[in-house]
């Protein structure tokens, strides 16, 4: 049989583990992206991951030196995007040409962008707010 001290310690450890999960599972945008800067890429959708907690669009587009890179564009969660009514799992397909505007990742080698605005010129579809 477990002593009261052992039960208390077990409960404390379990509580610490559970409390630490949300902090680990979600990152801080300012820690990952330069939220006070902006960037733009134009390229072709390779993959669209419509999921939670964040959707991702992978886009092949040139970097500042003109070399083609696979960019990971982080968007809002799939559930929130679906509530908006303008985005679904079928909104973007591989091969779609897009213009992405957003906040650049802190590590340039990661080729990451936090999405602020996206447009598909072929049919005029777009999503997002104003982009300065």
Domains and CATH numbers, the chain: 29-128 (2.40.50.1010)
Residue with tokens 């001290």: 5
Calpha distance 61→77 (Å, rounded): 23
pLDDT of residue 85 exceeding 50, the answer is yes
Whole-structure pTM value: 0.76
Q: What is the pLDDT of residue 35?
A: 92
Q: Which tens digits make up the pLDDT trace of 95-122?
A: 999 999 999 999 999 999 999 999 999 9
Among residues of the chain, what percentage have pLDDT more than 70? 77
Task: For residues 15-21, give the mean pLDDT.
Answer: 41
Confidence class of residue 56 from pLDDT cuts 50, 70 and 90? Answer: very high
Collapsing DSSP states into helix, strand and coil, what is residue 21?
helix
User: Which pair of tokens denotes residue 7?
Assistant: 């039960």
Q: What is the pLDDT of residue 27?
A: 61
Please enumerate in sequence order all residues whose Cβ is within 8 A of that of 93, keeping only pairs 6 or more positions apart, or say none: 45, 48
Quick check: 99 and 40 in contact, CB under 8 A?
Answer: yes
Task: For residues 53-68, give the mean pLDDT.
Answer: 95
pLDDT of residue 21 exceeding 80, the answer is no
Residue burial 66-94, b: 16+ Cβ < 10 Å; e: rest: eeebebbbbbbebeebbeeeebeeebbee
């Amino acid at each position: 049989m477990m002593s009261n001290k052992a039960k208390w310690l077990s409960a404390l450890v379990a509580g610490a583990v559970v409390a630490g999960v949300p902090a680990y599972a979600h990152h801080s945008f300012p820690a990952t992206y330069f939220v006070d800067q902006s960037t733009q890429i134009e390229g072709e959708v390779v993959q669209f991951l419509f999921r939670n907690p964040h959707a991702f669009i992978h886009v092949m587009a040139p970097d500042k030196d003109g070399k083609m890179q696979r960019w990971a564009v982080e968007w809002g969660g799939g559930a929130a995007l679906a509530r908006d009514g303008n985005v679904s799992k079928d909104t973007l397909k591989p091969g779609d040409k897009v213009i992405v505007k957003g906040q650049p990742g802190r590590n340039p080698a990661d080729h990451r962008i936090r999405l602020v605005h996206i447009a598909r010129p072929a049919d005029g579809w777009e999503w997002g707010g104003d982009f300065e």
